[in-house]
Structure 1
């Protein structure tokens, strides 16, 4: 498959992710985090079964691949926990803008630090813009508001996803990307089940159709399908370039949050998100 095909698939994945923030807001309104995290990963695992049958490749996992799966599973669980609390106490649209514009910047910073990458003047300018955009979106001018609000969870989401992106890129040498996604879902399902052993997981069957549509959309399209596309693309295009597509998510997310949840679009989110978008463009600029 040529790289242009991955471009189209990434746009589709970003669309699924954008709508997922509104779905997450809906399912977090009444149930506990233990219930939501378990069922998201469980349904995600089930959704991979037809994909694996279509792929027709034996499931193989060596020691090196298992290390990547374990590390990424931890970060994926952390991301879901942080996003749960962020959306529960904040706005879905705002969270999507903060996470998806800061995650590429965080990814680039981690890559530069870990692999000692030499930066150009454009990239330094991009990092500066990204940091300014982050300060505006996170409202860091009021530290007490940041520490006591939902934005701190959104920042932790961006950092967690930067780690997930880097691990996904380098995992391709050891495990097939679809197998990688499946193993992560399986490990996370098991871990979240053990954690939720004292919680009534069957309470989800008392919920209405709006809840189930949101949960299935989030677990299947927003997780299994979109995340698999993202992991495959990160190995083909590189983690930095793949992350740059995430700037499309806020557009889809803000629109869906306005349409479905009647959320008001905040101007500081638009301003900070725009600066961070330009930061991503500068960071990925070819010379």
Structure 2
């Protein structure tokens, strides 16, 4: 598959991720965090079965691949917990902006520190533009928005997902990206089941249609489809370029939150979103 095809798939994945924040907000209305986390990972695992069947590639897992899977599983569960807390006590749109604006910065920082890699001037420009875009979207005249509890949760999520992105890039040498995503979801399901064992897991069947639409969207489209695309693209394009596409999520998350949840949208959001698009261009610009 050509790199340009991965670009289009990543844009689709970012759109699906953007909608995931509104879906998660809907899920926080009636049930506790442990119940939602378990069913999200359980449905995600089930949704992989037809994909694995169509691939017709035998499932394998060597010791090195198992280490990547275990590490990413822990990070994925942690990400879900902190994102749930952030959305429950804050705004879905803010989560999409803060996490996706900070994650590429954290990823580039991790790569630079761990591998001592040098960045091109255009990539530095892209990161700066992307960060400014996030500031404009949230109308930050100071940093107080990062000091309330919900936004601290989102900032932690950005650090966690930077680690997930980096792990996914190097895991492809030891395990197929789709198998990688499947194993992560299965192990996360087991972890979350232990976490939610004493909860009323069957209470989800008392929920209405809106709840189940949000749950299926989050587990299947927002996770199985979008995350698998992200992992495959990370293996092909590298963690730095792949993470740069997350600058697209803020505009998608805010637009969908406006359409679905009625959260306000203003001119500064469109301006900041446009800068995020420009940031993606500069980071992926050939040097």
C-alpha deviation, 1:277, in angstroms: 5.6
Alignment partner, residue 205 of structure 1: 205
Q: Deviations over 1:12-53 (max 9, x none)?
A: 212211111111100011111100110000000000011111
Alignment partner, residue 172 of structure 1: 172
C-alpha deviation, 1:226, in angstroms: 0.9
Give the TM-score normalised by the residue count of structure 2: 0.91
Alignment partner, residue 10 of structure 1: 10
- Superposed, 1:101-116 pairs within 5 Å as 101-116=101-116
**Structure 2 portions without partners, runs of 5+:** none
- Superposed, 1:95-244 pairs within 5 Å as 95-129=95-129, 137=138, 141=142, 143=144, 146-244=146-244
Alignment partner, residue 253 of structure 2: 253
- Superposed, 1:244-283 pairs within 5 Å as 244-265=244-265, 278-283=278-283
Matched-pair contact (CA < 8 Å) for 2:59–2:179: yes
Change (3 A) 1:89 1:266: farther
Change (3 A) 1:270 1:71: farther
What SS is found at the alignment partner of 1:61? coil
Q: Deviations over 1:231-268 (max 9, x none)?
A: 11111111111112222222221111101100013677
Change (3 A) 1:224 1:238: same
Change (3 A) 1:7 1:252: same
Matched-pair contact (CA < 8 Å) for 1:20–1:217: yes
**Structure 1 portions without partners, runs of 5+:** none
C-alpha deviation, 1:276, in angstroms: 5.8
Structure-2 separation of matches of 1:250 and 1:127: 15
What SS is found at the alignment partner of 2:235? helix
Structure-1 separation of matches of 2:6 and 2:279: 23
Alignment partner, residue 31 of structure 2: 31
Root mean square deviation, CA, Å: 2.3
C-alpha deviation, 1:128, in angstroms: 4.7
Q: Deviations over 1:132-178 (max 9, x none)?
A: 666675959355x6333311111111111111111111000000111
Structure-2 separation of matches of 1:247 and 1:205: 36
Give the TM-score normalised by the residue count of structure 1: 0.91
Structure-2 separation of matches of 1:148 and 1:162: 22
Name the stretch that deviates more: 78-87 or 3-12: 3-12
Alignment partner, residue 94 of structure 2: 94
Structure-1 separation of matches of 2:147 and 2:248: 28
Structure-2 separation of matches of 1:112 and 1:284: 17
Structure-2 separation of matches of 1:264 and 1:140: 19
Q: Deviations over 1:63-106 (max 9, x none)?
A: 00001001111111111111101111111112112211221121
What SS is found at the alignment partner of 1:59? coil
What SS is found at the alignment partner of 1:162? helix
Matched-pair contact (CA < 8 Å) for 1:140–1:146: no
Change (3 A) 1:159 1:273: farther
